[in-house]
Each structure stands twice: as structure tokens, then as C-alpha cells.
Amino acid sequence: MGLLKRVFPFTGEQTVNILSEFGPLVTMFIVNAAAGINAGTWALIISSVVAMVVMRMVLGRLPVFPIIASSVTIVFGVLTLVTGDPMWVQIKVSIFNTLFAGFLFGGLWATSPLVGGKASFATVAVLGFGIVAQIPFLIGGMPDLTSLDDPVTTNLICLASVLVGFLLGGLVFKRNFFGYVFEKTFNFTQEGWDKFTFSFAWFFVFTAVLNEIIRQVFDAETMYPVPLLGDMNGVNIWILFKVAFIMPVSGIYAWYLTKLMQKYRIDGPEHAAVAGAGHGAGGGQIYAMADARPPGSPPTK
């Protein structure tokens, strides 16, 4: 394996997917700083559409995960333009990430003999801790749950998204999403897919919590002093947080996890057998097929 491949283990398709996710955010940051939230939101919507077109031209198809993320971005961007409230484009991240985390946990619960139980426990833990975390907001009296400006309202929406995602993933989709979508891009055993998905589900929870903290701490209209950058309003601070922190952390995490997963990589006929078995409810059989090898042979790398 060459030096470039060791340092940057992503294929061209994976690189396009990563750029399509964060390119629109970078565009929004630049335009929003120069011309305001409406222009920034238009830039986000237009660049998301451009990203989908580029994916279609470069890859010859529309990859499932980026197209879902881009579509949700466009919907919440339109809501921001219609209402004039940047909260919509900000909370999109929290709702999408919590919904998708629950969806991944649900798929694992339905299919994985290895981490299915952990996935259901993780969902219950997220919901439980999330509800307990609302207690400080209740000290001053009952919140106004009809107002999206009340943090309890948006927090409960995110918690509901976790539950809805879990039910959709576990009772409707009933597959390991990443294994189902990316099996032709990353050739891993079913055990590898399950661990990869479980880890990424927690990462989605982590980024959703961080997003809500930044969104709620920094008011959209208030100006705050930022070292080296001068005064910035809450929306620009939120975008800066996404671009300067979430983007590199996501890239580093994906790189690290992809490198870590190389021990679960399979090739040739073995991969064809596992892919042919699918990523559905027959998880135990898939594990057996993925781990099948002559007696005394070393583990699959």
C-alpha cells in the first residue's frame, strides 16, 4: 500500500461524498459572513443542488446517504427563507443526526447478534439521559412547548427523532444501513459493518448534542467577540463551529475508523458470499459465512 493510500484511505467516490456534505456549509459560511443569512441560505441550497449534480456526473449515480442529507438541507433551507428564522437551518443538523442515530441503532437491533442488544440499550440511554437533562429548564416553571424558541421544545423534538428513527430502522428497514448502502465501496465482514455502524451512531448522537449546545448558547442575532476574527453573530459562530470543528473532527474520525476497520476487510469470493447473503435479519448466518475459513487458517484481515 502506497504512502498516499496509507495517509488518505478514501476512494474517489468517498472523497466526493465527503466534499458534497461539507462543501455547501463552507459556501454558506462565506456568503453568510459577506451578505447575511438569507443570501447564505440561498448559497446553501444552490450549492447542495450543485453537489448532487456533481455526484451524478462523477459517480454516474446519486449515492443514498449524501442525497438524503442534501435533500433535508434543502427542505430546512427553504423553511429558513420562508420564515426568516435561521433556527431551521441550524436545528436541521440536530434533527437529522438524532433521527439517523436512532435509525442506525434500530437497524442493528433488528439484525445484529453482536451489538443488537447494545443498540437498543443505547437508544434507551439516550432517551433517558435526554429527558433528565431537561430538568434544569423546568426549575423556573413549565416551558412553553408551543414555541420553537423554547429549548425544551427543540430538545424534545430531537429526542422524539431518536425514537422515530429507531422504530423506522428496527421495524421497517430492518437492515444495517451502512452495510446495505456501502457494501460495494467498503468490503467488510458483517461483524465489521455492525461495529462500524454502532460507532457511527454514537458519533451522530455526539454531534447532535454539540450542535444544540452551540445553537442554544449563541443567540442568532447577538454579536460575540471571536479571537482573531472580530465580532460575529450567533449564526456565523455556529457555521464557524461546523466548518472549523465538526468538519475536521468528522473527517479525522471517519479516517481513523476506516483504518481501524481494515482488519474486517474481505475480498474476492468471500466478499461475494457475504454480499449475496444481504444485510437483513439473518445476521447470524452472515457472521458464519464471513468467518468461514479452513481449520487452522489465520483470521481474515
Q: Show Cβ contacts of residue 265 under 8 Å, excluding neighbours closer than 6 positions.
A: 186, 187, 188, 192, 300, 301
The residue-averaged pLDDT of 169-173 equals 94
Where helices occur in 36-150 by DSSP H, the ranges are 37-59, 64-83, 87-111, 116-132, 135-138
Residue 265 identity (one-letter amino acid) = R
How would residue 64 be classed by pLDDT, with cut points 50, 70 and 90? low
Contact (CB, 8 A) for 179 and 193: yes
d(CA 195, CA 108): 10
Identify the sign of the CA torsion 238, 168, 104, 177: negative
Q: Report the alpha-carbon angle 69-74-80, nearest 5.
A: 125
Question: Which range, of 88-92, 198-202, 267-271, averages the lowest pLDDT?
Answer: 267-271
Can you tell me the distance from the alpha carbon of 138 to that of 129, in angstroms, rounded to the nearest whole number? Answer: 15
**In the predicted structure, residue 126 carries a pLDDT above the cut 90:** yes
What pLDDT shows up at residue 289? 39
C-alpha cell at 78: 427553504
Q: How many residues can be counted in the chain?
A: 301
Q: Which helix (H) or strand (E) holds 251?
A: helix 247-260
Q: Which residue has the cell 461539507?
A: 22
More confident residue, 52 or 98: 98
For residue 149, give Cα distances in angstroms to 86, 177, 241. Answer: 11, 33, 21
Q: Is the pLDDT of residue 296 over 50?
A: no
**Cα dist. 99→38, 167, 276, 277, 280 in Å?**
26, 10, 29, 27, 20
Average predicted confidence (pLDDT) for the chain: 79
Task: Report yes or no on whether pTM surpasses 0.85.
Answer: no
Average pLDDT over residues 81-104: 89
In the predicted structure, residue 110 carries a pLDDT above the cut 90: yes
- Is the pLDDT at 278 greater than 90, yes or no? no
With bands split at pLDDT 50, 70 and 90, how would you rate the model's confidence at 280? Answer: low
What confidence tens digit (pLDDT) does each residue in 202-232 have?
999 999 999 999 999 998 888 999 888 888 8
Which residues are paired to 233 by β-bridges?
223
What is the predicted pLDDT for the residue at 37?
A: 66
What is the DSSP code string of 220-240? SS-EEEETTTEEEEHHHHHHH
Q: Is the pLDDT of residue 288 over 80?
A: no
What digits encode the pLDDT tens for the residues 33-44? 677 667 777 887
Task: List all residues 6 or more positions away from 138 whose beta carbon is below 8 Å from its beta carbon.
Answer: 152
46 vs 58: CA distance, rounded Å: 18
